[in-house]
Amino acid sequence: MLSYVSGTSDKPMLGETIDANLRRAVASFADREAVVDVATERRCSYRELDEAVEAVARGLLGRGIAAGDRVGIWAPNCLEWFLVQYATARIGAILVNINPSYRTHELDYVLRQAEIGTLVTAVAFKTSDYRGMVDEVRDGLPGLHDVVYIGDPTWAALLADGSTVTSEAVAERSAQLTFDDPINIQYTSGTTGFPKGATLSHHNILNNGYFVGEVCGYTEADRICVPVPFYHCFGMVMGNLASTSHGACVVIPAPGFDPVATLQAVVDEQCTSLYGVPTMFIAELAVPDFPGYDLSSLRTGIMAGSPCPVEVMKRVISEMHMDEVTICYGMTETSPVSTQTRADDSLDRRVSTVGRVHPHLEVKVVDPETDQLVPIGEPGEFCTRGYSVMRGYWNEPEKSAEVLRDGWMHTGDLATMDDEGYLNIVGRIKDMVIRGGENVYPREIEEFLYTHPDVVDAQVIGVPDERYGEELMAWVRLREGSEPLTADGLRGFCHGKLAHYKVPRYVHVVEDFPMTVTGKIRKVQMREEALEILGLHGAAGTHHA
């Protein structure tokens, strides 16, 4: 047998735009709760959500936003993020998700590359002064003509600008849209040193959210606690769109992840589903008074974003009442989910695999050199084809062509498939690091480290970490006569310029890097040596799905 499977389903795909789907939910579930923003004590029914989305949509139309214009959103999780997501979909603007952890270097690139004309942003969050960073880059971006700050008079001004726009005008715009229109750009770190903008349509993300919800068994009675960030597919697709396509309720426990706030939200809001990357569940289980939280309302949820430790999965099932919890595998370029475990899978399958192919999708495992299918059980590159595959990387046709071939998305991940179609992710063809659910490409960091005045050369690798799955280690060669470079010194250089999860935890200064006879750097050998240098053999033995 060869490693190919297709996801048959008796449920048809949704052939409609996100707005048409939301309006159907509003008509069916008008008085049911749609969103709860715990931190600000705001909640709205589907009817109230529709009215609030309409107000933002009118404001955007009043500002002259055309279908296809890019509207950036740079903020932690909040009700306004939710409203902007659905308002841009209503008028056909392309929402560009910007990671709240970004600093000026990354912000400037994304604003420029996506040609963002309007930016909706928080004023500040934690240590991030968003207003200050916008001011720092704005002069060099003449195309950025409008910045709206959430919770600031500029937000009220946006809504006021919609007062002259009629609902008929909004409805007319919405009626002109098709479900194949691009509606979202999500940036994923690139091997070329800068992120690439995966361009997704209504059809891509609405159907993916819908079928994630179907596999989870969602109905209008479900209340989904979403502590994962909205800027990522996990939050805005698997969370928000899975919820609204079933008339369920999204509970936002806090602007950023807080294990105590998350547990309390589950209790107070009687959530039936809880999302998280493994590190989030580990943090929740480690809360000192964890046994005191009554989590009996939970029945399901999703653990995804990075390899899921088997023992953590077992504890989530047994101690958090999540008997039907699922594992998902995917990537931003595929909207994101390609495989998912099911509630009726055996415990062994549910904790040690990434499940089976999603409805209406195809998966194959191929030899990366020949593109030929490999036999069942043998490792090869995980490829997927179907409605979920992105339209391409924004304004980067050559990079799109590198991964999209004959409709297949070549993920770069190594996988095995068993004779029942269950898949395991066993490695990566390239050296991407997944740290706590965040994809980090070493070359982006290496190119930044080259800007350090004392660094001649830099190589970044992932090393095992019990908490985050992987951590970053920088191997550097220094200029002759330079001062010694410590991990703290390097982190200080990166502070404020790179997102926190891209800052190397470990630094190792070397005279030379391990090389092959053909002059290529041997990162495999570097990882092996790193285990000895850092004493990480214990972390390397942590078992993941």
What digits encode the pLDDT tens for the residues 360-382?
Answer: 999 999 998 899 999 999 989 99
Calculate what percentage of the chain has a pLDDT beyond 90. Answer: 79
Question: Do the two domains 27-33+45-177 and 205-388+409-430 of this chain adopt the same fold?
Answer: yes
Residue 161 or 522, more confident = 161
**Res. 520 pLDDT band, cuts 50 70 90:** low
Q: Residue 196: its pLDDT value, please?
A: 94
User: Is the pLDDT at 58 greater than 60, yes or no?
Assistant: yes
**3-state SS assignment for residue 251:** strand
Structure tokens of 93?
Answer: 């603007």
Backbone φ and ψ of 324, nearest 5°: -105, 20
Q: What is the pLDDT of residues 250-264, one digit of tens each?
A: 999 999 999 999 999
pLDDT at 542 (0 to 100): 63
Mean pLDDT of 300-315: 85
- Each residue of 117-147: b (16+ CB within 10 Å) or e? bbbbbbbebeebebeebbeebeeebeebebb
- Who wins on pLDDT, 407 or 314? 407
In the predicted structure, residue 541 carries a pLDDT above the cut 70: no
What topology does CATH give the domain 27-33+45-177? Rossmann fold (3.40.50)
Residue 192 has what pLDDT? Answer: 44
- Residue type at 291 in one-letter notation: P
pTM of the model: 0.85
Residue 442 half-sphere exposure, CB side, CA atoms within 13 Å? Answer: 18
Q: Give the model's pLDDT for residue 213.
A: 98
Q: What are the structural domain ranges in the chain?
A: 27-33+45-177, 205-388+409-430, 433-540
Give the per-residue pLDDT at 425. Answer: 86
Q: By three-state DSSP, how is residue 397 classified?
A: helix
Sign of the C-alpha dihedral, residues 114, 184, 197, 307?
Answer: positive
Ordered DSSP codes for 400-417: HHHHEETTEEEEEEEEEE
CATH for 205-388+409-430 is: 3.40.50.12780
| Domain covering 433-540, topology | GMP Synthetase; Chain A, domain 3 (3.30.300)
